[in-house]
Amino acid sequence: MIRKTIFWIHLACGVVTGLVIFSMSITGVILTYERQINQWVAESHYLPEAEQTARLSLDQLVAIRKIEFPDVNATQVTITNHPGAPFQFRAGRRGGVSLNPYTGMEMETESASLRSFWSTVTGFHRWFDIQGENRAVARQVTGVSNLAFLFLILSGLYLWLPSIYRWGLFKARLLFRPAYNNSKERDYHWHHIFGIWMAAPLVFIVYTGAMFNYGWSADLVYSAFGTERAVRGGPGTGRPAPQTGNAVAGLAQAGSADLQEVQKHYLTLEELVSRVIQETDIAWNRINVSLPDESRDTLSVELDWGNGAQAQKRETLLLDRSSGSVLSTTSYAQRPLASKIQGYTRFGHTGEIWGWLGQTIAGLASLAALFMVWTGFALSYRRLIKPFFK
């Protein structure tokens, strides 16, 4: 009786939310290697060796950005470990400008059509790319469907178990067959096989997706690890808190001339970053420099030797702007637990935190979900609709 009840609830949820799940799955497949494709396009815009002359200093590029692009309120600059790569001044998640490191002119790093394509696919993945006031409704539809998908996976695991526990029956539901007697048998078998082999990654992907929509689902995870969600930009994010030197603070009211006199003792950004590069033995891919306020006597420099989404492959150094000495080093192991969970849920959803292998598994899980929806609809049609046409 319990098995039959779960089966009918499973079937009803699949019929009602199947198309939404199919939509999220197919867009998930398309987005699998978005990061690698964007990187490939960016590298195609890198300057050839013939155009690489004497590079401008980081301080010169910062000054050019302030003069030529005053509307770009950049808080960070990213230096890529390639002589032809631009210096990317970032303002928020998507804003910013990229400058030619040799001329200071704006430099294109992406295809406008590709950016529009990714934006459309991502929008469709999250809320059917609906704009305006109806987006909230669409987001609720995908959110509820995502929760229904989680139930389908978990209930499917229960329904996958054979009534009689024999190895032969387990084996029959774990391995593909070379041939099937008919399409119904094939769909039934595929529905079970794709479901069981991709159950673990799908549970992780679907639950982390729920965390983006529902705060309570995120709180459950943080509570399970005995911590609370980190407030963006606040304590628990793993970012060093702004520190103002006593000397500068003491002269803050003494007039701009005195303040400028103190600032003359600061090393240039170029000197500070060069010291980090020379003294570190990390084969970094990019360096993220937090642009300091004029009154701050420390500089935060983050070394990244991963793909940009792997928090476990980053290290943050806090430098004294006057001496260049390292005041503190924050590795991944030293970051607060909430920050670690945040990284794993944000980029674990796409698999990016585990590199191309994790992305491949996430993509295959999304592909398996497509087969599960298709075979589920086919089986439902045979059970619910086809009998009326006999």
162-212 confidence digits (pLDDT tens): 777 777 778 888 888 889 999 999 999 999 999 999 999 999 999 999 999
Buried b (16+ CB within 10 A) or exposed e, 8-41: eebbebbeebbebbbbbbbbbbbbbbbbeebeee
pLDDT confidence of residue 390: 67
- Tell me what pLDDT residue 264 has: 56
Global pTM reads 0.86
**365: which residues sit within 8 A by CB, 6+ positions away?**
198, 201, 202, 205
Percent of the chain with pLDDT over 70: 91
The mean pLDDT value for 271-288 works out to 93
Residue of higher predicted confidence among 354 and 174: 354
Least confident range from 11-15, 79-83, 89-93, 297-301: namely 89-93
pLDDT at residue 119 in the model: 95
Which one, of 266, 215, 272, lies nearest residue 245 by Cα? Answer: 266
- Over residues 3-21, the mean pLDDT reads 96
pLDDT at position 94 is 72
Each residue's pLDDT tens digit, 76-119: 999 999 999 999 999 877 789 999 999 999 998 888 899 999 99
Residue 347 has φ and ψ, to the nearest 5°, of: -100, -5
- Under the banding of pLDDT at 50, 70 and 90, the label for residue 259 is very low
pLDDT above 70: residue 233: no
Question: What confidence tier does 338 reach under pLDDT thresholds 50, 70, 90?
Answer: very high
Report the mean per-residue pLDDT for the chain: 89
Asked whether the CA dihedral 56, 57, 62, 63 is positive or negative, the reply is negative
Task: Give me the pLDDT at residue 231, please.
Answer: 62
303 residue type, one letter: L
* Whether the predicted pLDDT of 252 surpasses 80: no
Confidence at residue 321, expressed as pLDDT on a 0 to 100 scale: 94
Read off the pLDDT band of 389 (50, 70, 90): confident
Average pLDDT of the segment spanning 338-348: 92
Distance CA 205, CA 191 (A): 19
Higher pLDDT, 263 or 372: 372
Q: At residue 23, does pLDDT exceed 50? A: yes
Is residue 257's pLDDT more than 80?
no
pLDDT of residue 239: 41
